[in-house]
Each structure stands twice: as C-alpha cells, then as structure tokens.
Structure 1
C-alpha cells in the first residue's frame, strides 16, 4: 500500500509536545507516545491552519479531557448529525481515571469522543484502498491492462487480507469498512467503556488474544488505541468466523447502500462465547446510546481553532 507523505511541525505546550502531521493529507494532533495513522492513500496536502492542542494534564485526566473537548466544540450531538466534523485527534490511550468521573453519561461521552476519530481514521484508510481496488477490478473486468505497479499493489493487498487465490470478488468483500456504530458498541462492551484493566495496561480494547503470549495472560499488547482499532477491523475483515458478516455487508453494497451497523450485528454470533446473548447486548448498546447516528460522522482535516491549554 502506498504511504502518504508525512510532514510535521513542532508546537510546544506545557508538558506536551504535539506534532501536527500530514499523513496522506490527514492532519492530526499526535500526543506524545502516539503513532499517527500510516499507509493512507496519498492525497493533496492541505494548508496548515491554526491548531488546537492538549496539555499533558488534559490527556491524563478524564475530567480535564472532557473540558478540553468542550472548549474545542467537540460535541457528539453535532458530529453525529453530520453538522460538524469529528476533529482528527488521536489519543494513544484512554485516561486512567475514566471510571472516577461522577456520572456514567460523562464517562460514556468521553470514551466515545476518544474512540470516534480512531474508528473513522481506520475506515478512511480502508475506504481509500477499496476505491483503488474497485477501480482495478473494473479495469480487469473490461479486459484493460493493469500495470506492474498496480499488480504489485493488488498482490500485496491480497496477501494482507489473506486471499490466497487472487479472487477479486473475495478481496472486494474483505476490503471494506466497519460501521462506526458497530465498532463503538463492541469497544464499549469489551472494555467496560474504556475502564478495564486490559485497556489501561495494554490498550487492548476488544479482548484480542495471542497464540504466543506477550505476558502471562495471553492477551495482546498494543502500542496505541489506533493499533487496537486497526487490528479489530482487520480481524472482522479476514477471520473465517466472520464470513457471514462479510457476506451481509457485500449484499448491502450490491443494493447500493452503505454497510448497516445494526444489521451486521446479527452476524457476530461467533465473536463471543455468549452467542445470541452477546448479539442482543451489542444491539441494546447501539440502541440505548443512539450509536447508529455516528455512521454519518465525518473525520475533519484540521482541528477547530486554537485552544488555550488548561490552567
């Protein structure tokens, strides 16, 4: 996959160094210790505008992070309705004191505002690959030649998505987005709205395990939340247990519609030993927290204005 050019300039703010990086045209504030999204298809580089940033204290405290989001105008009601863009702000980890917030609603809104940019960024990366894949598939279907560079890219994509026979139909069904509503609901359920020990220690949002254990628990460690979200989406797109989900998503695409998070939940029987009970729980989470609205959310290209660091 072609990597976008990465530009940066350094801004100093209290105890935090914030790097404004252009990754394939996607400007992000990368907190100290975080890694920006990579391997996003290259696009035109936008101009650098006034940039918001967070102090180290803002990142470490759930209450201060909530206040910082409010100062930025980052509100779930407006981004969910598509009235404003989701700021491209990627936190490396969830604040460790999230469970200390005084009420459950605040805890949920902080968690969702941390997660939503990450999910949208992963989906954007996949959508870029899917667009190029569909273009090449159409070219092959009309018996037009595919250049050596494009063929190499296709081969690498097929290997990454574990399609061994070069079947383009299978590859197209795998290289597709996961609706934000589904990713948000599963991350909330699996991580206790970001409060589980596994999330705090390993940034493991979805309960990923490993065959060769990194520690005594056999649970996978992630360097950042972005890596965890990326692994989750890749798992849904490649593991044989989710063939039904991919078929349902492809059927929706064939009808000219975008993937439906609420409908895709039915294909997650194999995600948990709880089976149908797990599916019911995820649907309930989506309904009670109105998560489907975030399927209309858009990831912004710049952070909204300059935000003064908290005192």
Structure 2
C-alpha cells in the first residue's frame, strides 16, 4: 500500500502557495512514510579545491535526489495502474482511499470521491520525476555549494521560505516590513523532499510540469541533461530575478555536464 508524507506548511522563495498538513494518513490507518535520512553533510567550506568540492557536493546530494525520484516513481506507478483500472471499470474501494490521500497530498482533490479523466490527467502532470541535473544545480546555486548559513544551520538547500515566527532563520538582509524567514528543516532529506513537492504542485511552476509532459508525449526522457535545461524554463517564478535566474541555472547545468555524465 502506498504511504504518504505529512507535509508542514512552507513557502518557496518568490512563490505564493503553501504546503498543506495532511492528517488523514493516521486516521485512515496508513502510516506516514519516513524520510530516507542522509548522513550529516561534509563541511563543504573546508574543501578548498573547487572541483573536489563540486564532486563531494553532488555525490552527497545525489543520494537524496535518487530517493525522492524513487518515491515519486512509485506514486506515478500507482496512478498509471489506476488509470488502467479506471478504463476497465475495475477500481477498488482501497484504490479510491489511496487516490484520495495522494490527491490531497498533491492538492488535486477527488470530486465527490470519484475518479475522473481530468483528475488522472492533472495528477499525472504533477506526480513525476525531476532530472537530477536540475535539482542538484538548483541546490548548488541556492546553497552556495552547501556553504551558506541557511544550508549549514537550517538544512535549507533550496532557498525555501516560511512565514510563522520562529519557523526558520531570519535573513540578515531582510527588508523592513517583511516577515518571512528561511525555513528550517530537520534534515537535508526533508529539504530535498520539500523542494520536490513544491515544484510538482505549486501553481507558480505549472509551466515546468507542462514542459515535462510535452517531453513525455514526444517519447523523450525527462531525466536527461537536455530535459533539465528545458524544464528550467518553467522556473522563471522561482526567483525574483526571473529570466536571469533561469539563464544562470541553465548555464550552471551546461557547465557541470561532466558530473552528470559520471
């Protein structure tokens, strides 16, 4: 049976939608999935050789990215099987319970607790893997290769914000009148998970999901470096820098291709 994660409220930089707390898991007897915890990260700032630091950073983070893509692949597999059952009118009550929970997790609720083509279509747009080249590059960019204060003190590798007092670290350069904090996570694994969930369901990144779906329609892989560069086009709202941010991430992906080939 699929297991689902309890998601805490958090906001990602320059986006406008929150994570939702899912309390149905325990009520329905489905145990929340535990994060596959990564070990404590190396002290990247002590690795003075830039090439060595990059290799260490990508090697460390890749394990967490792989774990998240594995989780999403299982959820997508459930949806694809559910789609076949829907087409053959063989959906079970248990399928509906899991569909309801997964839909709530991705903020696509079942209408009247009934499956529809539109629900399946919307879910398959959201529940999909992300190229590791994209995730690792954004992590490197947002965390200054794991050396930033927020990465070291808050396990925050993707510049994610929160808005409850005490939920994270107050940025030193926060403008007067602003109330956001940089979210603090219990682990690096949680930070990676929150990034995946944000990109896969935040309305600000709908364009990324559409690009990914278009690649699948063409029969192309969505995990290649080429796919990563294409998907970045849908992240223009991730940063206040907009298109300049997109171009910077694309350039970083291209510049670090040797690591993806490894």
For residues 103 and 280 of structure 1, do their structure 2 counterparts lie closer, same or farther at Cα, with a shift above 3 Å needed? same
Structure 2 counterpart of 1:76? none
Report if aligned partners of 2:100, 2:110 keep a CA contact under 8 Å in 1: no
8 Å CA contact 1:286–1:292 kept in 2: the answer is no
More helix by share: 2
Q: Is the 8 A contact 1:115 1:184 kept in 2?
A: yes
Mapped pair 1:229 → 2:200: no
Q: 1:171 to 1:278 in 2, by over 3 A?
A: same
If you compute each CA radius of gyration, which structure gives the higher value, 1 or 2? Answer: 1
Distance 2:245 2:234 in 1: 11
2:61 is matched with 115
Q: CA RMSD in A?
A: 2.2
Aligned pair count reads: 213
Quote the Cα distance in structure 1 between the aligned partners of 2:198 and 2:65.
Answer: 14
Kept in 1: contact 2:139–2:157 (CA 8 A):
yes
Deviation at 1:268, TM superposition (A): 0.9
User: What's the counterpart of residue 160 of structure 2?
Assistant: 208
Where 2:90 maps in the other structure, the secondary structure is coil
CA distance in 2, matches of 1:182, 1:291: 14
Q: Aligned partners of 2:2 and 2:183: how far apart in 1?
A: 27
- TM-score (normalised: structure 2): 0.76
Identify the match of residue 132 of structure 1 among 43, 63, 78.
78
**Structure 2 match to 1:144:** 89
Query: Is the partner of 1:209 in helix, strand or coil?
Result: strand
Instruction: Determine whether 1:179 maps to 2:131.
Output: yes
Aligned to 2:149, which of 161, 180, 197?
197
Rounded to whole Å, the distance in 2 between the matches of 1:180 and 1:136 is 27
Structure 2 residue aligned with 1:265, among 210, 227, 232? Answer: 232
In the alignment, which residue of structure 2 is the partner of 1:279? 246
| SS of residue matched to 1:194 | coil
Structure-2 residue corresponding to 1:47: none
Secondary structure (helix, strand or coil) at the match of 1:131 reads helix
Greater RCO, 1 or 2 (C-alpha within 8 Å, sep 6+): 1
Deviation, structure 1 residue 204: 0.3
